[in-house]
Chain A
Amino acid sequence: MENDEEMKKDEFSYPGMGEIIFMKTEKFIENVLNWGRRNSLWPLTFGTSCCAIEMMPFGTTKVDSDRMGVLFIGDSPRQADMILVSGTITKKMARRLLNVYEQMPDPKYVIAVGACNVSGGLYHDSYNTIHGIDKIMPVDVFIPGCPPRPEEFMDAVRVLQKLIKENRSKAQMDHERIL
């Protein structure tokens, strides 16, 4: 009973009540922004090997990415929200990947596709590949498989949408909020 009264007291007679209203407004705007972000994820396709072949059906009719807002419109990093890194990343390619990644506007999301990008995969003992791209860039969602099926791309986008909704994506956690 005492707790309930305290809560009531807090709710109605807290001195910084204006701040709460402001925070709620901020939260509201953030929710609206996240709603927009998660329902219109334009991808940048960074395909270097066989996973890119599985990425192509993701945009075609059978596994239709358009209905989730993932439109394969023009591969430009300047208009992309997320990057689909599909394929083995060698150490020479890692610089090019980061170069492209840094051109993307914030907030940016990363999906690592395939065993090579999760842990090194087939090339776990190689001298010339990056063993998991989480070593060089923040990754939101990993898709295992060698290569994964196109349906798993859809699953990854669903997971990413959930992360954005809950403010748990790397871009929202690591960087300062835009607001």
Chain B
Amino acid sequence: MKEYFEKLKGVLGNKVKDFGVDGTEYSVLLVDKKLLKTAAEIIRQDFDVLFMLAVADYKPKFELNYVFSSYDKPDTIVIRTYITDRDYSIDTLTEVFDSANWEEREAYDLFGIKFNKHPDLRRILLPEDWPGHPLRKDFVVTDEVRNWTGLDLKF
């Protein structure tokens, strides 16, 4: 488990921090979000798939947990990084991991995070003309939102 962290630390230096091991899951904190793609390329040598992108809203910043796993190893590695900018944007991982495509669309849909250079950044769960991003802390479910259908009703 430790060797993955050492590998990351060899390239990124003190920009990564060790969060320790929990079972087979190894957590790494990435201090600078611009280095995410570099870190993902290093992880790609050992891991096969990005199987989860978990986002949490600690306003005003977002916490992003990229969970990588492998087909033939039991190990899991988690890269945690924070978005604190006001534009809420981060680089996409679609060029490194193909499964990042839909995960990032979901994060865009529900949290409004912009993924730079994403090939197909559309909504994936909600209707295309939905107003707002519902899993943000500042989203309030009003009657207007509840009764919104987006339909041109004839009857």
The interface of chain A, by Cβ under 8 A from chain B, is: 91-92, 94-95, 98, 125-128, 130-131, 135-138, 174
Contact = CB atoms under 8 A, between A and B. Distances in A.
B146 A127 contact: yes
A127 B141 contact: yes
Contacts of B127: 91-92, 95
A132 to B, nearest CB: 11
A91 B146 contact: no
B153 to A, nearest CB: 6
B155 interface: yes
B149 A92 contact: no
Given A127-B145, A127-B146, A138 B151 contact: no
Q: For B130, B145, B150, B151, which residue has the most chain A Cβ atoms within 10 angstroms?
A: B151
Contacts of A137: 155
A95 B147 CA distance: 15
B112 interface: no
Interface size of B as a range? 10 to 19
27 contacts: A91-B126, A91-B127, A91-B148, A91-B149, A91-B150, A92-B126, A92-B127, A94-B149, A94-B151, A95-B127, A95-B151, A98-B151, A125-B141, A125-B146, A126-B141, A127-B134, A127-B146, A128-B126, A130-B149, A131-B147, A135-B147, A135-B149, A136-B149, A136-B151, A137-B155, A138-B155, A174-B155
Given A126-B141, A174-B155, 6 more contacts: A91-B148, A91-B149, A91-B150, A95-B150, A126-B146, A128-B134
Contact of B146 (A95, A131, A138): A131
Interface of B: 125-127, 130, 134, 141, 145-151, 153, 155
Contacts of B155: 137-138, 174
Contacts of B130: 91
A130 B151 CA distance: 11
Nearest to A98: B151
Nearest to A95: B151
Contacts of B146: 125-127, 131
Contacts of A95: 127, 150-151
Contacts of A126: 141, 146
Contacts of B151: 94-95, 98, 136
B8 to A, nearest CB: 38
